[in-house]
Chain A
Amino acid sequence: MSSRFIGERLARVDAPDRVTGRAVYAADISLSGMLHGRVLRSPHAHAYIKKIDATRALALEGVKAVVTAADFPALKKGGVIARGEVELNLDHIRQVALAHGKVLYHGHAVAAVAATDPHIAEDALELIEVEYEPLLAVLDPEEAMKEDAPLVHPEQRTRTRDGTLDRPSNIAATYNVSRGDVEEGFQVADVVVEHTFRTRTVHQGYLEPMAAVARADPGGRITVWASTQGNFSLRSQLASVLELNSSQVKVVPVEIGGGFGGKLNSVLELPAVLLARRTGRPVKLVMSREEVLRATYPAPATAITVKAGATADGRLTAVKMRAVFDAGAFPIAPVVAAYLTSLAPYKIPHICLEGYEVVTNHPKIGALRAPGAPQGAFAVEGQMDLLAEKLDIDSLELRRRNATQEGEPMPVGRAFNRIGLQPLLERVAAHPSWTTPLKGPHRGRGLAVAFWPGAVMPSSCNLTLQDDGSFSLVVGSVDLTGTRTTMLQVAAQELGVHPSKISVSVGDTDSVGHTEVSGGSRITYTMSNAVNQACTRMLGLLRERAAAELEVDPQELEYDTGIFSSRVSQDKRLTLTDLGRQSLRRGGPVTATGAVARMQPAPAFSAHVVDVEVDMETGQVKLLNYTAFQDVGRAVNPTQVEGQIQGGAVQGIGWALMEGYQFSESGVLQNANLLDYKTPTATDVPFIDTVILEIPASDGPYGIRGVGETPIIPPLPALANAIHNATGVRIRELPMNPEALFHAMQGRGG
C-alpha cells in the first residue's frame, strides 16, 4: 500500500481544544460534593516528626478530614513494581506522598487536609500542630559520601556490583562498569585531558502543575483523574500501596500539560485517595507552582569527572568517568545512563565508570527527558572539544574520526543495530550552519553530538468498526506530544481510509490493555506497532465477514480504500459502511486489539550547531543561529517531529544558560517561583532550524525511531563550546548565566 498518511503534516487532533481552553485537565474536574485538599509541608530539610495534632484543624468549620502517613495500610517492606527499565519502589512512593516519621527535605508532605473550599483547607494547615526534632541536613553529595556524615536513612546500605556493604551510608549505590583497561588506553594516548563538570538540580518545567481528583466508592473501588504520564503505572502504584487489586482502581484519562519525565511517579494521588476514603466524598488536590518546584521530582545535580585520552591523529584511546549524582531523599539516579549515552557516539577501546548515587536532604529526583544524558554529554562533549583544540583538529572532524556504527558495541549491552550517526555527521559537515564562516567580534560556534537509546514498553489499543463503517481507536497511552494524531495517521494508512473516518482517544484503565508510561521516546515507536497489528487483525476479520456476506472465498477478495471486491465477479463488493451495518445483524460488532511487549531498541543520534554572541561587559549570551540535526528513522508527522526537536533544544538551552535550583545552607529552595527559577521565553531563543535524517530503525513499522528525548542533550555542551569559541573561556558548571560567565571571564577560568 502506498504511503498516504505516513509522513503527512496532519494537524494535531487535540489542538483546537487546547488552544481554545476546552481541553479538560485534572484540575478542571469537578464532581458533586467534591472537597478541596491542601498539603502541609515540612519547614525543615531534615527532622524527626515527634507528634502531629490535627485537633484544632478538625475543629475549623468546613474541615472534613486530616490524613497522615499513619492512614496508609501497614507497610510490607521491600515492595517494588518492576517496569522494564524503571523500578518503582513502593516504600519511596508512600514516603514522598506523606512523610513517615521523618521529613527528608524542605517541603516534604507531612499531612493533608480536605475542606469544603480551598481557602478553608489553606487556613486549616496553620492549625495542624507538628512537633519536629530538627536534624543536621545532608546537602552536599561529596560531603554526604564521607564516613562520618549524618545519615539520611540510617538503615541504608550501599548496593555495589559485588553485593551490599554492611556499613550504613548515604551512598545508595556504586556503579563500576568497564570495557578494556583504561590505564592501558591512557598509556598509548598522546594527549590526556581531565576535568570535572558540575550541573545543578533542574526542574522539568511542565506548564501544568500536578493535580489529582480521587473518588472512593463504599465497595472499595477507587477512581482517579490525574496529571500523569502513565494511567496504568499510576494504577499499579495506587493498587500496590493501598493493597487493592489493579481492577479495583480506575484511572480516567485527562489532558496533560507537559510531563517531560516528571509525572511518572505518584505524588498527590495517594493523599487524595486517603482523604476521599475518610470523608466518603471526592477530593481534589492541586499544587501551586511553589509546591511543584519544592516537592516534586526534579532532575539530579551532578559532578562528573571525565579523563579522556587520544592519539595525535585524533583516535580516542580511553575515557574514564567518575560520576556523583545527588539522588535527593531516595535512591535511584541515572548514573549509568550518563555514561552509556555520552560515550555511545564514539568507538573507544577502553572505557570505565566509577559512579555514585548519593541520597541527600533534597527532593527525590525523577526523570527529565533523557535522564542523565545531558549531564553526561556536558562533560564528555566538553572534553571532546578540548581534545580537538589540543590536537589542532577540527571539532567535527574529531567526532567523525571516532564515530560509531552498526555492529560496534555500545558502552553497556549489545552491539548497535542500524544507526545513522556517520551520515548525520556528514550532513553537518556539508550544511551552511557549519560551513558558513562566523563573522563579528565575540561570536562563537559550538557543536555537540548526542545519543539516546529509546525505551520499549508494553502498548495496547482497541480498534472497533462502528455501525456506519467508521472506526474508533482507543489507545492506552497518555498523549503528551501528539501521539493520538500519529496513531490516527498509522490507522488511516493501514486501514486505507481517510483520517476523518477514524477517531482516536485515550482509554481509561478499564477499557484498554495495560500500556506503560509515555516516556523513553517510545510511544510512536511501540504504539504504531500495536495499532498496525490491530489494523491487520481488523482487516482480516472484515475480509472473513465480507466473504461470508458475498459467499466467496476470502482469498478471492481484494481490499482497497474501504472496499472489499471480488477479483472474479465485479458486482460482488462491500464497503465498510455495508460491513458496519451488517455487523449488527449477523456476526456482531467487529473489534480488534493490538498489543506489544518487546521490540528491539531504536537508537537515535543528534547533533546541534549553535552560534552565540557574548556581551563581554555583562556576560550575557545571545543566540544567533541554532540548527538541530537528528536521525528520526521515519518522520510520521514531520511537523510534530520538528516541534519535538525544537522543544527539546529550548529546554536544553534553558538548562545550559538559566535554570538551576538555589538551595540555602539549611536546604531551603530560594528560587521556588518562575521569576527566579528562570526558563527561556520565546524571545530568548532564535528560530531552531531542524534537519531531519531518515535512516530506518532495525525493528518496528516504517523505520520509526524515538524523537523526543535526544534533542535536550546537545544544547548544554554545544553552548559551552560556543561560549569558549567566542570568549576563550571554558565553563564547566551550569547554569552559564551572565553573572557566572562574567566572573569566569574576569578570572579567565578554564
Chain B
Amino acid sequence: MSPVIPLLLVLALGVVGWLVARARARTFRRSDPARRPHSLPGYHAWFVALCAGLPAGLFALVWSGASQGLVMASVLADPAARDLPAFGITRDAILAEARALATGQAEAAFHPLARALVPAFEHALRLYGGVGVTATLVLGFAGGAWAFLRLRPEFTARTQVERIVMGLLLGASLVAILTTFGIVASLLFETFRFFEFVSPLRFLFGTHWAPDPMAAVGPATGEAYGALPLFWGTLYIGAVIAMLVAIPLGLMSAIYLTQYASPALRRWVKPMLEILAGVPTVVYGYFAALTVAPAIRDAAKAIGIASASSESALAAGLVMGIMIIPFVSSMADDSIAAVPQAMRDGSLAMGATRYETIRRVLVPAALPGIVAGVMLAVSRAIGETMIVVMAAGATARLTANPFESMTTVTFQIVAMLTGEGSFDHPATLSAFALGMVLFLVTLALNFIALRVVKRFREAYD
C-alpha cells in the first residue's frame, strides 16, 4: 500500500484540528477576559494538530511497510499459488508480474500463472489498503478528539507542545544513529558468511591476495584471501604518502591564513582552498591517472628507477594528499584561531617574534585540534576509492617502493563486487569483510579524534 493517500488524509486532519482548536482557544479569552489562559491560542492549535497527525502519520508509514508482507501472505494462501515454483528467481518474477498487473503498472504478463494470481493480489491489496486508511483515519480522529477535549483555559498547551517538539528532535537524531547500526548489521551478516570459507586469522594476516570468482570452492580456497597487502597498500597510500603531503601543506597554509594573511586575502584564499574539498574525487582520479602518474614514471625512469610503473602508489598518494589538504587546514585553522588572543599577546609582550609565538605557543595549544583534524583526514583518505581505482593499480603487493603499483581495500571492494562471481562466492563476500575492516578502522580513528577534540575543549575553561 502506498503511504501517500493516508498521509494526505492525516495532513488534512491536522489542519482541521489546528483550525478548530485555535477557534476554541480564542473563545476562552472572550468568555472570561479577566483570567488569562495559560497558553496562546496558537499553542492549543499546535497541540491538537500534533496529537491528531503524529500517531496517525507514524502508523501510516509503518503500515505501508508491514502490509506488503500481509498482502504477500494472503496471495500465497490462494489456491492459484500452489502452482508456483518452490523458490528462486522465477517465483519472484511471477509474483512481481502479478503485482504489477494488479496495481495497473503493467498491461500484459508473460507468464500465465501471473495472470491467475491477479485476482488474489487485487483482493489483498484492496483489503489491506482499506484497513490501513480506515485505521489511520480512526487513529488521527481519536488523537485529535482526545487532545481537543483536554483544552481548557488553564491547560498547559505551551509546555506540552515543547515536549512533543523535543520528542520529534530526539527521534530525528535517533534515525542517524540507528542507520549506523543498520549498516554494521548488514555488513556483519555477510562478513560472517565470508568467514565460513576463510578463517579470520588468515584473512587478516595472510600475505597472498588472488581471489578468483570463478574458482570452485574447496579446502584450499582460503589461501587466496590474505588481505595484508591490501591493508598495507591502503595505509601506505592513505596514511603515509598522502599525509606527507597533506600535513605540512595543510598546517602551513592554516598558519599563514590565521596569522599572516590580511583579512582581504584570507577572504579570498580560504574559500579557494575549501573548493579543493568539493572537487569530485573522480576528477582527482583523472588528474592522478593521466597527468601525475605518467610524470612520476618518466621522472623515476630518468633517474634510473627501472621498476617504476605507470600506475604507482606515489601518484595516488600525492593526489590524495592534495585532496585532503582542506580537511587538515580547516581543522588546524579553527583550532589555531580558537587559541585565546591573550595567549598571543602574552607571548608577544615577552618579546617573542610572530613565528616564535606560533611555534611555541599557538601550535602546542592548538595541537589536539590539529591532531584530530589529521585523524579525520586519515580516515577520509583510507576510505577514498576513486583515486586509487584510477591511479594505484590492481596488484596486491607488499612493498615499500612507492613507484610500484599497489592496491587498496577500497579498490578490491569495487573489484570483487563488480566481478562476475555469484553472490554467495567467497570472492564476492570478501568485499563485505574488507568493508567491515575499513568501517571499524575509520570508526576507531573518528572516535579517537573526537576524544582528542574533547580534551582540547577543556583546556581553557
Answer yes or no: do A and B interact: no
- Residues of A near any B CB (own CB < 8 A): none
